[in-house]
A and B are shown apart, each in its own frame.
Chain A
Amino acid sequence: MKLYPYACLLLILAAAGCNQLDLVPVSSKSVEGFYKTETHFDQAAIGLYNGLRSTWVNSEASYMLTEARSDNAFQGTAYDDGPISRFQETSMLPVLSSAWSAYYAGINRCNRIIEQIGNIEMPAERKSQFEGEAKFVRGVLYFDLVRIFGGVPIVTTSLSISESQKVDRGTDEAVYDQIVSDLKSASELLPAAHNAANKGRATSWAAKGYLGKVYLFRSGYPLKKNEWKQAADLFREIIDSGEFQFFDRYEDVYSFEKEGGKQQVFSIQFKAGVSGHGNPFPTRNASNDIVPLPEAQGGLPFGGSPFNLFLSNDLLKSFEAGDLRKDVAIRQSWRHKSGEIITTLPTCRKYQNGPVVAANDWDVDWIALGYTDVLMMYAECLNEMGFVPDGEAFDLLNKVRKRAGLKPKTAADIPDQSAYRLWMEAERRHEFCFENLRWFDLVRTDRALDVKKKFLEAYGMADNLRDRNRYLYPIPQSVRDVTPHIQQNPGY
């Protein structure tokens, strides 16, 4: 039949057309066209740090869900952290849902790298670096989530919409298992150091530091697994590496000149004057009413913000006389816009140094995991593994006290393991105030109920905190709107 060749031709044309239906955007990068080259994975990994930066420093959730919940601050009612300070939050609180979304957005980015990296040829060390970075970031994000919300959904692959609608909560244990597995794997995959161009990316030391921290937390409330040894071994490895250094002066730890130095295991990088890459922490934590003048004139360049931490009297009183850390961490007196010198409303002073180009645009890096923290966590592990009067745990903590200008303590002051715990608690509070560590420390030691109840008593609000259910935040209502099968945390 004569038609036959024509029919064939038509079929060929039709088949050619079928392939033509899969188009990707020409002028914008698309998910479909991404994760195809080594460069893409490098870009994807860099994107992860951008996410960590916004989650840990730039976002409101970074301090609202942590420092504002602790006894270091008591926030005004203008913003979402008001109810958080008062233990009055409900699942409707917007910051909860924005935090939830931000964490999972970050996790999704990690999942995609881990999922796709096997498909692409690239040098083995690059591959292991990118995969290690993704696992590191996923580990630390879940570490936050499990401490904020408890047993959250464990998502380790990229999900379709219908899959995402079926996901249910995991248990605390399962989430921690995931974290440990990710960080363990990251500590093996990541290099110990990066070249000059890549300085600032996570190293195997960062992964080990966080892994130790996770063991430490897992040994505390609520899981109370006895993993002090695992934690101590990791911290010991970091200490013995010689890569890090205990600075002689407390204020040097936070100074711009020393940023990225040996005092830190992992930091969030900032740069002033490059749109969107400046550190907002210093501006945010100064009073909204501070005069925008250099510090020498009692002000702060470009002023402060209404989102500053309102420091609690409890914190201010808790400093021992002569503690050098107090003046480094806290601005006790400042010049009001009206010209008046204010001494009754102290604010956070950490990181308020170095170049600044505009409000919220400071150059100084922000330390996520400090070496001091590693040392102190190590000391804590030693104490938990067995109290040794005036042993290594004492030496380490006294090193910190000495730097703070305080007299060392001895077994005479600290007679037993539990006394040491309280000592550690107090030193950590002063050493790391406003670094978003306090609330989680109180929860893992199960001291939060006592400490915060007593704290709220001063405001006549002790009844707001009845039980340990408040150690976790409620699952955001928006989450339960779209996925009603996700159970609310008890007590909400």
Chain B
Amino acid sequence: MKKKIPTRIGRLRLRLCRVPGSRLMTGLICLLIFLIPAGTLFANVPAVQEVAGKVLHAKSREPLPGVNILEKGTSNGTISDANGRFSLAVSPQATLIFSFIGFATREVSVGAASEVEILLEEDVKSLGELTVIGYGSQKSTQVTSAIAKIKASDLDERPIGRVDQAMAGKLAGVQVQEVSGAPGRGLAVKVRGVGSVNNSTAPLYVVDGFPVNSGLDNINPNDIESIEVLKDAASAAIYGSRGSNGVVLITTKTGKTGKPTLQLDTYYGVQERFSKVDVLNRDEYIDFAIEERNNTWILQGGKADDPNSVRTNANYWIDPLWLTNPKSFPDHDWQDLISRSAPVQNYQLSASGANDFVNYFVSGNYFDQKGIIIGSDYRRFAFRANVETRLGRRVNIGLNLSASSMDRNDSEGDSNQGPVSRSARVAPIVGLDQQTQRGGYYPYHAAFYLNPLALARELTNNTNSRNIRANMYATVKLAEGLKFRTSFGGDYLSNLTQYFKPDNINRGTGHVGSVSTATRDNLLNENTLTYDLNRGDWSLNALGGFTYQQDRLVNTSLSKTGFPDDEITTLNMGSILRDGSSSATEWTLLSFLGRVNMAWKDKYMVSASIRRDGSSRFGADNKWGWFPAGSIGWRVSEEPFLQDVNAISELKLRASYGVAGNNNIGDYASIGTLLGLNYILGSSQSVASGFGPGSFSNRNLGWERTYTFDGGVDLGLLGNRINLALDYYLSDTRDLLLNVPIPSVSGFSTTLMNIGAVRNAGVEVELSTVNTTGALKWTSSVNLSHNRNKVLELGPGGAPIYTTGDGFTTITKIGEPIGSYFAFVQDGVFRDKNELDTHPHYRVQNVGDIKFKDINNDGVINEDDRTIVGNNNPKVFWGMQHVFNYRNFDFTVFADGQWGNKLLNVAVGQHGQSRGNVDGYWRDRWRSPEDPGNGWVPRAAVTANLTTPSTFWLRSAAFVRLRTISLGYKVPVPESFPGISSARIYASIDNVWMHDHYNRNPQTGSYSNSNTRPGVDFDATYPLARTYTFGLNIKF
């Protein structure tokens, strides 16, 4: 019993020592502290009752170690041990106070009981008590800007390989587009729509305060404590010229006060192919091919019964066996052949703890995912150490260190010449070894549709990335409430890609090998002063500081041919150097920042921030920019007039306005480049190298600016059982970076300028409810986002920007969303001669061809009849989660979806050609006026109808998906396993069910997903997987 007393003294001393501002006071109070306990001990001589017991988590019934237990009105106390147990000698009829961070404090009158069981409830309010914001944190109740948040506990129920996957469907206003299902491939994250025409709209990722440039690959999701997304300019403007696309703050775990914890998290899963393209089988294909080849030959002036000998091109030839013995051909499902059921496994071991002097979290992780397409996989080793130690009374020093190694094999699943594309295009009748150099080519088939199996198996395309990120910091308490923090860190990334394509899948052009590397060094120094003041009803938090960050990227590449064979694939075997190059690029950023958060009575809140960024990327006369923001909040629920309204437990009104920038303008966009202007000189007439200015140095070139207004309501009803957050925003990006005409007397006709504007306006709803309590606890959360994107201004004259590729045009036009699809509108097909004669044609058309709409009603179909036919921005996207808890069981259902947007498959322009297999929709084609099909698919013939871009190329990108179901069970740990404090097992299924219109790949963008050309597929999106997972979490 006695041994507990020193502990108590230590704790108290610690707490009190922080209070005084001067040395003298410190000394005095420390002296007092030594005196007080001694006095208490002498005073506590009378009647003593021994109370023992156990403190448990009310929900999970896990023991809670480290809970403060204090006899009310005294300084007599103790803390619970590793098993949550405690014992304390108290005076009779004493009341004990149990307090623990994150839990509601309980007062329990022990009466005469000598053994008590205390259940502590997690404090709903204090659970989200702190919200991480830029360069600090803030009481959640006082947050006045739009910040979306995910906690570690939200990430537990399903296996997550990457951070962006963790955000998918979880946050209002954050669109995570699954452009591809390839292992290790990044997803497209957009916060509140697209605010740029030419520049990246990826948010800024900040890991433990370090703005990272090395991507998300190397962040181990198992280490994450919370993810905060700063959505409005008021919260993001503190990141200045990098804030306009939103900022994702990733906070990794730290040690928690109490007993050291050792945790093992592991899961094993099996992935099955989820997405699959509907294509024709053998009999359907042969039927189609004969029809198509005859029709097309007739278009060349031939007759259907002409033999191959008079057909001028192999594209019109018909394999005699198709007619005589079609069953002699195999009926391969190439998509199945290149797919496999693939394991995914994850092992994470972490240790953490904290005491008065050290706080630590260390972890090691191994993640291994085999791809569902042969030849693809992803593996990651990741290590982390977050350590902070206290030196003396004023100084804390810490280090965040992570190291990771990622290996990715990619058989080019997302390439439009890769195995995924070819598995949908190679005809089912092609032999398993055909369509390769060794196996020969099926003569009635396009030679360039190579064997998908060979492509998947024989290509080497391995990328190894290594990342070390270290950030060391020190905090110095200068005076009461005044803290100085300085940090210095580096983020080092190196990528090595080794590529080898053997001749067998290179159509006889020989073996090709290449190696490329990318090395990135990023250094960061940050210095901030924070001042916290709580006086009476006032609380004030002020921040000021400056930061410096620099980045250097070096790329090299080498490519060789002339390999003797494909046995050794490293470049030493190649004899002909095809290409060799290296290049480097750099940027630096120097920033000053400041912020003041003020609150009165936790009721009225005002916040203002400003950042001044100086960037090497900006023009010489525009190096520095200001990024101000301000927000206000009013917690109406704290007003007296709402105190009696029991239904309303929380009501906060928020409004914010701010300016943030997008500096993704390229490292040297402001600097004029030199043009090679060689000339022939000398008696021997040889090339002399000359140069001249090739583009304008725009000394004024700067960032794109986003001005965002955000208005929001946070409403809590029925004791916060229902929480609703509603946000409306209007976000105008101005000074878009566009290429515009300038007077050519300057020497140049166009230059990059900051001109033009685009608007994103939208509504976000986040609703979370506790539906039932008691034995069965049911909680739900729903998020829903709507965004409307509109171009407000473009360059001089406002001329639209057309982006054309693979025959399809997208348009960026004032009044319309960026990158709208621009094409003819299909108006069915010409069902019969009469229809053909009464409707205008586009060039030469026949019965059965696509009918285009005469948009301008001028009786002619020409380029003027093209119109905007949709875009890739969803009108609404949403996510919904239900969690059920019953005794030791938990059950989670998670669904997501979107609607109102389109996607584009540019390969449709080449569809309908029987040189390879075609999609299943061709079953419903027009065959004759009597058999017109579904009225949408034209006849089988290669005509300009398909190559003319029309709505026939577009599909709806809407979908509804049952994303995850997961069942967990907390295994009661018998006392006989004293080491284990808790254990949970769970099973989950990811991608359970989907309703969509595009082969269960409705978020594709694997071919192009740029702002001006988004959501484009080329028959080649790596399929999504359904994953069955079994997992185990054990805490020691």
Contacts and interface: CB of A to CB of B under 8 A. Distances in A.
A25 B673 CA distance: 9
B490 to A, nearest CB: 16
Contact of A18 (B590, B620, B742, B751): B590
B688 A46 contact: yes
Interface stretch (A155-163, A391-399, A416-424, A438-446): A155-163
Interface in B681-699: 681-693, 696-699
Nearest to A274: B687
A155 B744 CA distance: 11
Interface string A250-261: 000000000010
Interface in A113-165: 153, 155, 158-161, 163-165
Given A20-B590, A100-B744, A49 B690 contact: yes
19 contacts: A10-B527, A10-B546, A17-B588, A17-B590, A25-B667, A27-B584, A27-B585, A29-B673, A29-B674, A31-B673, A32-B697, A43-B691, A101-B744, A105-B748, A159-B745, A161-B698, A164-B743, A199-B682, A481-B796
B654 to A, nearest CB: 34
The winner among B683, B685, B796 for most chain A CB atoms within 10 A is: B685
B679 A49 contact: yes
A488 B728 CA distance: 51
Contact of B692 (A26, A47, A53, A271): A47
A270 B616 contact: no
A3 to B, nearest CB: 7
Contacts of B797: 481
Contacts of B583: 26-28
A269 B744 contact: no
A130 B457 CA distance: 60
B746 A108 contact: yes
Interface in A178-219: 196-201
B671 interface: yes
Given A25-B668, A27-B583, A277-B687, A50 B745 contact: no
B671 A30 contact: yes
B678 interface: yes
Nearest to B546: A14
B678 A104 contact: no
B747 A200 contact: no
Contact of A47 (B690, B748, B751): B690
A424 B697 CA distance: 49
Given A31-B671, A31-B693, A50-B690, A21 B588 contact: yes
A53 B679 contact: yes
Contact of A23 (B546, B586, B684, B699): B586
Interface in A64-118: 97, 100-101, 104-105, 107-109, 111-112
Given A164-B745, A197-B682, 16 more contacts: A23-B616, A25-B667, A30-B672, A31-B674, A31-B693, A32-B697, A43-B691, A46-B678, A53-B679, A108-B747, A161-B700, A198-B682, A260-B683, A271-B680, A271-B686, A481-B741
B749 interface: yes
Nearest to B743: A164
B525 interface: yes
A101 B679 contact: no
A159 to B, nearest CB: 5
Contacts of B585: 25-27
B590 A21 contact: yes
A163 B674 CA distance: 21
Contacts of B527: 10, 13
A34 interface: yes
Contacts of A3: 478
Contacts of A297: none
A423 to B, nearest CB: 38
Interface string B753-793: 10000000000000000000000000000000000000000
Contacts of B683: 196-197, 199, 260
Given A21-B623, A25-B671, A28-B674, A47 B679 contact: yes
Contacts, number: 209
B677 interface: yes
A167 interface: yes
A482 B742 contact: yes
A43 B679 CA distance: 10
A324 B667 CA distance: 62
Among B693, B743, B748: residue with most chain A CB under 10 A = B743
Contacts of B550: 20
Given A25-B667, A25-B668, A109 B747 contact: yes
A461 interface: no
A50 B671 contact: no
A274 B691 contact: no
A44 B673 contact: no
B692 A51 contact: yes
Contacts of A53: 679
Interface in B573-613: 582-588, 590
Assign chain B's interface to a size class: 35 or more
Contacts of B546: 10, 14
A269 B678 contact: no
A158 B693 CA distance: 11
B615 interface: yes
Contacts of B614: 17-18, 21
A196 B623 CA distance: 47
Interface centre among A18, A23, A27, A160 (most CB of B within 10 A): A23
A48 interface: yes
Contacts of A363: 685
A315 interface: no
B285 to A, nearest CB: 44
A112 B677 CA distance: 15
Nearest to B678: A50
A21 to B, nearest CB: 5
Contacts of A32: 671-672, 697
A28 B743 CA distance: 25
Give the residue among A21, A26, A53, A109 with the most B Cβ atoms within 10 A. A21
Nearest to B746: A164
Contacts of A231: none
A43 to B, nearest CB: 5
A479 interface: yes
Contact of B620 (A14, A22, A48, A196): A22
B590 A161 contact: no
Nearest to B697: A31
A29 B687 contact: no
Q: List 3 A-B pairs, minimum CB-CB distance, nearest first.
A: A108-B747, A46-B690, A47-B677
A105 B747 contact: yes
B444 interface: no
A343 to B, nearest CB: 36
Most B-side CB within 10 Å, residue of A24, A30, A479, A481? A30
Contact of A31 (B548, B672, B745): B672
A199 B681 contact: yes
A185 to B, nearest CB: 21
Contacts of A100: 744
Contacts of B681: 46, 49, 197-201, 269
Nearest to B621: A160
A483 interface: yes
A45 interface: yes
Contact of A482 (B587, B671, B743): B743
Contacts of B688: 46
Contacts of B753: 161
A161 B746 contact: yes
A30 B668 contact: yes
Contact of B691 (A34, A197, A198): A34
A62 interface: no
A104 to B, nearest CB: 5
